[in-house]
Structure 1
Amino acid sequence: MEQILRDTGLEQYTDKLKENDVDDLLFFKLLDGAAGSTEERLFAEIIPSVGHRLKIITAAREGDDNSVNCGQEPDKEEHVEITFVTFNPLFDIKQIILNSDEDKGTANGMNVLEEISRSSLLTSDTKTLIKRRIVNFLVKNYSYHPSKEVKENLAKCVAMQLFQNLNCEQQKNIENMFYRKSEVKEKTKKKNSASGLIEDRLKHLRRKRNVTKPRKPESCLEITKPSEDEEDKKSWLRYTSSPLNQVAEYMAQTFRLRSEELKTNDLLTTLNEWPRLIDTTGMIDLDFSIRYPDKGDMMLHKWTCISNQIWKYAVKTRANIHGEIGISKNVEEWSKDEINSGSLLLLPYLFSKSAYTQDGKKRRRITGAHSPEFFVQFFQRNEDLEEFRLAESVRTQPFVICIGNLKFLDIQQAFVMVERRLIAAESFVKAVDLCFKIFYVLELKFPEECKSVWEFFDCTVFQTNKVRSSSSSVLSLSSQITMDEGLNED
């Protein structure tokens, strides 16, 4: 960094960069920031002059092009001042490991780093710790299906940052040990799968937590490129959240672009690219209404009628709501408000016979006592919810959370959680409505543990016709719902 500033005659920025804790790693990340990115904005704040920024970027790129290749002797007549790595490092491996130490309350990572610094040896225990720490970071920040470029970059960072004392060939061997991308064999023309410690760990976590592969495009047609206007509005929306009417207008105008990107992007990428979907009230409803005109208010119009008939069905079948669900008040004694919200809690119990989860390679049925927690979770205090939110790393699909007391059907606040982000809702019913819409707006699959509950909402409330074959339990309960009868009684 200092060499580039000297070469360009811009040494006056050295102190300012150091004051902002910019080291070589961060410096090159700032230089390579894409247009409209956070890196580009931060770089412009430190170095306001456009001309000076261009000089620095040009000097860095020329230095990269003229860098000495690993294993080659430089021309003796040529004095080489600095050698640049031939990739843009995305990760600070040492910091990732030390941050994990802090989270876990141990010094194991620091001890491993010190051992590597002394000996440059990669033992079995060292490999295990590095693999676990970096893959946990990868899953948290890039999902369970990161791109091959990200995994390749991570492996390079491990080799070059932790094993600087080794030669280039040895570093390459370590890089391949952590990740080797898929290749086509010349003789057989068959494609080898990606391999390495990173890939093996990701596969293990996906199997353990039953994470499915991200969606692929439904057709092989080329995705229409975004227009300049769409890109500008997307960039504006990424960094701006007011005024609300402007946000809503731009969100509606970029719906086509968002729909195209959803065909290939995973959930985490989508939420990072379009933050207003989650943090701005009404944007999920807006996208759902564009996808399904005249369906957006169905829950508001129908639920009172439907909930009353679910309640009657529970009374008729003598549902064991105390033993199975944990609600103390007899179902026959529920008030109108309790019927409105309590009937939502009855659904997982009524569909428990068709609720399954994947336990390794075995498909295990969820009991009536446990199936509701996959649909809605209760916490008595906001502090408990925040602790849960920070620790939750398994579920990628959205689900409902309530602050209150399930035993007495007391619901004080309701939220939807998706990728550890909380969205506040006006009521429990609205939270369920919002959660259902998130599945459809972000094109997510219903979780197996409460799939029948969400299919019931599609079948009886929204009627999108997207669910082609509902389970027999859904069809059975849906057949008990008669809108005319319910409306007349109301």
Structure 2
Amino acid sequence: MDSEKVEIIIDDIIADEGLISDADEIPELRDMIDSWILSPAIYAILVGHGITLEYLKILDEKALNDISSVSKWTGHKHALRRKLMIWPDSVLFHESTIRNDEEVESCSSAVPAYLKLANSVSVTTGLLEDILVRNEKGKIVCKYYKSHQYLDNVNRRALSHTVVDYYIANQLHFTLPDMAKFAKLISLRFPPEIAETYYNPRDISANKKHPSGLLYDRFHNRSKKDLGKRIRDKVADHISNVKSSALELPDKEIERLSTVKNWLRNNIAPEERIRQHWAESFLLRFRNIQQDKNSDKRTILNDWPRITDENGYLLIDTDFNHLYNTSERLETVFDCWERFAVDFIDYARISNIKDHYSIQLLDTLSESYILISQDTRDYILCTIFHAIVKPSRTSARKLPTIVQAQNDVCCIIDTYEEYREALISIRKEHESANIQLSPRIYAIGHTQSLDSFYVVTQFLEYKLPTFLRCLDVVVKLKFVLDFEFPESCELFWCFICQFFYDINSSRKSKNSQLLQLLAFLKARQK
């Protein structure tokens, strides 16, 4: 009991600023605590534990817990932590802002792993000067400033590009504390420039919850661009390696995988074992697909009948993930679609749409946006696409109509019975003409009320939960089973592949209408 009483007395003494001697006073630390409008007890606690202003800068979570270990000081600890997390000179600022930055960026652009792992640099006036004199943009900025004693917007951007390009070129991660230091150095080197122009840890005026400024924005955009190219190159290399590995499978491995293949042909359960064997046999299956010359995929579907099962599209997912190494990708169509929907509607409203049906659909979207279902909205977006990016001529030099392109993406049928009749009819038509029935979507119901969704080919039929999932499955069928998209709506599928999957799938990817749309959407993402 006595020891407990002594401990409480000691804690109270530590928190009493009146007991701090003149010799122990740290004016800079007191000014900092006062400027943060914190309790004087916090200053007393810090001084009692020998914390100076310099020590405060490197105070991490463990040290903070050590000096506030008593429960009665918990509130003081949290108050101090909140201030440290927004103080650029603090270790906790570095940790918290990087974490918050990653949370904000998680759906759009992560910094490449090799940049995160790279060593940091010592940000000094000398480094800034060295960057400026070694870079042509930097020299131009300095020359402009010498003549005018200020920087205009063009030279501000050039200055931020110069600094960021130094980090990118040296494969260094431009940390937020480094940005804060460079912003301060720039303001000193080029008065009357202010640091917040180049780095603002929390842009409250713009209601932003993440950092802003020329340095931050430039690094964000460059990192995203470089990461996208790195991923595309890596995926291309991966696909090339997959093709080589599949075609060069040793005879013993083909024999072993053929045993797995036979098991898959003769079993529909258990599901877990099917997925395990499916992943294991990917190279053999990919080899078979490359060797299958039948446009209707009859051979490959007979050899691997699980694809035709009710949930066969889940196996298509697995093969697509293997083929395109999707673990490297930042986003999927499901992550990006909501942001795209808002931007595309804006684009549609400023486009000169002349197709009457598309105009009606756009009006429906504008008048009843909140009331219509998400599937209806998504169907409308994809349908009016063809009135904005109009169909181009096919290989037979025929010019498809907008209506034909719309129906070849998704055809709406009133009832299930009528859908079955339409499916039988189109399959017979393609079989008699000996041409491939490309993957397409059928929806049952009416525009305002779509009930069921199907993706079909000559021998495949998948019932899917949403219209968006149908788009996803059609794309994956193209690249997993080597189907072709219908030529009438090739531009639409080219857009879906390029914008959402980062796959350039068509010779028509340079279509001027398509490029205008992509430029608009990418500008909206910045």
TM-score normalised by L of structure 2: 0.46
Q: Flag the structure with larger Rg.
A: 2
- Higher-helix-fraction structure: 2
TM-score normalised by L of structure 1: 0.49
